[in-house]
Structure 1
Amino acid sequence: MIDVTVENFEAEVIAASMEVPVLVDFWAPWCGPCKSLGPVLEKLETEYAGRFKLAKIDSDQEQQLAGMFGIRSIPTCVLLMGGQPVDGFTGAQTEGQVRAFLDKHVPSAEEALAEVEEDLAQDALAEGDTDTALEKLQHAVATDPANDDARFDYVKLLLQLGREDDAKVAFAPVIAKAAASRRLGALKAWMDALDFVAVSASGAGAEAEFDAKIAANKRDFDARFGRARWLMAQQRWTDAMDELLDILMRDKAWSDELARKTYVAILEIIEPPKVKVADGQIPPEDPVVASYRRRLSSVVLS
């Protein structure tokens, strides 16, 4: 819990809400209901162990802030997330009522722990420590099985490391969601490519076989798509997208837009993790991803 004034409002409320929900309690020393609500809020802040931050504003001393939020009666609590007010309540509330309010917005303990594990995994990957990253992501998925972002990163890393069977086991709980999720669908496209190569492509000579078919008929889209899948299995992502672009330049709608959908799946796979930047700044886009997005747009829209 922190007392907020005009001087520290930007740092302690706006900036802080970019990282964790901030509950702002507008109160005054003479307010009876404030005296009953305050201890409840402080108890829950301790119990929630960092999953939200409590900021208290004396509305008598900080009338400018009270006016900015349009406070007409106290106690009034306003919840900020991402620098913006998202919800609130007025008047004294029971502990159960405040808990129910918080649980609508504040991540559960499992979700918060999984998010920490994800961050640690990305830090480990940045340092080249794939073993630690894999361990953290596995823990994140086990802690919060509904966290599809953590599962995406976990399955993706398993595939990158060539652990296809483990990846399929980890992916199985969400396979039914793949058709409706671009990220999960991208993983399925990758695994489908691996299965295709395992069944259809003849080892090291596969690329030469595809090349021969394409040389004989540049509109042999089955051969081109097969070559793209073989390249995906080799994790030669830009080469695979180049092959898919060759299909799109000749027939954008081929096989129910399969080339475009697979191209988009590859973009999802190679998109780097989002990095945290200063408030108000836009993270830079990966130059390879940006270039291939532009190439796809120019072909599809031409």
Structure 2
Amino acid sequence: MIDVTIANFEEEVVAASMTLPVLIDFWAPWCGPCKSLGPVLEKVEVEYGGRFKLVKIDSDQEQQLGAAFGIRSIPTCILMMNGQPVDGFTGALTEGKVKEFLDKHVPPAEALPEEELQLEAEPDPATDPEGALEKLQHAIATDPADDNARFDYVKLLLQLGRSDDAKVAFAPVIARRSVVRRFDALQRWMDAIDFVAAGAGSTGAEAQFDAKIATNKRDFQARFDKARFLMNDQRWLEALDELLEILMRDKAWSDDLARKTYIAVLDIMEAPKPKVADGQIPPEDPEVARYRRRLSSVILS
């Protein structure tokens, strides 16, 4: 277990969570339940053999970090993946409950050789989009609950400009967008496409957004509309830059709309992450990692 402070948070938590899940234990020396939970977490970390990283933050000494995560009671554990909090729990859970919590998120102990061979034979969406679509469509038909396959299928349809087909494929899971973050990302992309189709994509639209922003740099609606315009064009980094301009000026603008859309764009940009033999998550795209760090810096500032 590693002690984390504001000084090493970026390296030990944000950067580390890009390659494997990081479980943060918010605790304090005076907290009785914390003393019960700590040894349980350390035991589980050893048993899981590097499938996740355990760190601890003294909530008394690191109040800025506690406030950033909205910690109201301790012990509280937050699980970070790809630079973002994805789940958590409060209180001194039993070893079994801790494992049950982790098993929902951490990679499996090992990947079967058959799975690896199958993944190696996957069609490349960049060079064989139709083959990749056929493979993903078959995966969904075989297992409609395969969220990863459905996400990749809808995403590829949108990348190819087949938004109507994407909406049909997305319909069975649309009600789950509030609990599956990547589904929410797809919906926000489709909303941007609809926004442009409704008239925001007319000739000179981008120049009109720029003119409004030049007149008033705090015209957040114009910035957000421009970001949606850029999302429609799949100009992801430019969209992130525009959203970041909003966040640097008003982190909570419009009920957190800019931050939620920023995270959605990062989720869309990420390439599918295949399983590997040792159960580790492959390194993510360096641009995605860079923009996750920029978001963390703004939120914690």
Instruction: Give TM-score, length-normalised by structure 1.
Output: 0.60
Please give the alpha-carbon distance, in whole angstroms, between the structure 2 residues aligned to 1:277 and 1:175.
Answer: 30
Please give the alpha-carbon distance, in whole angstroms, between the structure 2 residues aligned to 1:148 and 1:118.
Answer: 18
Q: Which residue of 1 aligns with 2:198?
A: 199
Q: Which residue of 1 aligns with 2:228?
A: 229
The amino acid of 1:299's aligned partner reads V
Q: Is the helix fraction higher in 1 or 2?
A: 1
Matches within 5 A, 1:61-210: 82-83=108-109, 119=119, 123-125=122-124, 128-210=127-209
Q: Which residue of 2 aligns with 1:242?
A: 241
Relative contact order: is structure 1 or structure 2 higher (C-alpha 8 Å, sep ≥ 6)? 2
Counting aligned pairs with the same residue, the percent is: 68
- Against the structure 1 CA distance between its residues 225 and 177, is the aligned structure 2 distance closer, same or farther, given a 3 Å change threshold? same
Please give the alpha-carbon distance, in whole angstroms, between the structure 2 residues aligned to 1:165 and 1:263.
Answer: 24
Aligned residues: 194
The amino acid of 1:199's aligned partner reads A
Please give the alpha-carbon distance, in whole angstroms, between the structure 2 residues aligned to 1:127 and 1:255.
Answer: 36
Please give the alpha-carbon distance, in whole angstroms, between the structure 2 residues aligned to 1:206 and 1:164.
Answer: 21
- Whether the 8 Å contact between 2:108 and 2:279 is mirrored in structure 1 is no
Structure 1 stretches of 4+ moved >4 Å: 115-118
Q: Which residue of 2 aligns with 1:264?
A: 263
- Against the structure 1 CA distance between its residues 277 and 144, is the aligned structure 2 distance closer, same or farther, given a 3 Å change threshold? closer
Please give the alpha-carbon distance, in whole angstroms, between the structure 1 residues aligned to 2:279 and 2:174.
Answer: 36
TM-aligned CA deviation for residue 275 of structure 1 = 3.3
TM-aligned CA deviation for residue 205 of structure 1 = 1.1
Ranges in structure 1 where 5+ consecutive residues have no aligned partner: 1-17, 19-80, 85-112
TM-aligned CA deviation for residue 277 of structure 1 = 3.5
Radius of gyration: which is bigger? 1
CA RMSD across the alignment: 2.7
Please give the alpha-carbon distance, in whole angstroms, between the structure 1 residues aligned to 2:163 and 2:125.
Answer: 23
Please give the alpha-carbon distance, in whole angstroms, between the structure 1 residues aligned to 2:157 and 2:278.
Answer: 33
SS for the counterpart of 1:272 is coil
Q: Which residue of 2 aligns with 1:91?
A: none
- Against the structure 1 CA distance between its residues 179 and 202, is the aligned structure 2 distance closer, same or farther, given a 3 Å change threshold? same
Instruction: Give TM-score, length-normalised by structure 2.
Output: 0.60
- Whether the 8 Å contact between 1:120 and 1:133 is mirrored in structure 2 is no
- Against the structure 1 CA distance between its residues 287 and 186, is the aligned structure 2 distance closer, same or farther, given a 3 Å change threshold? same
Please give the alpha-carbon distance, in whole angstroms, between the structure 1 residues aligned to 2:244 and 2:125.
Answer: 31
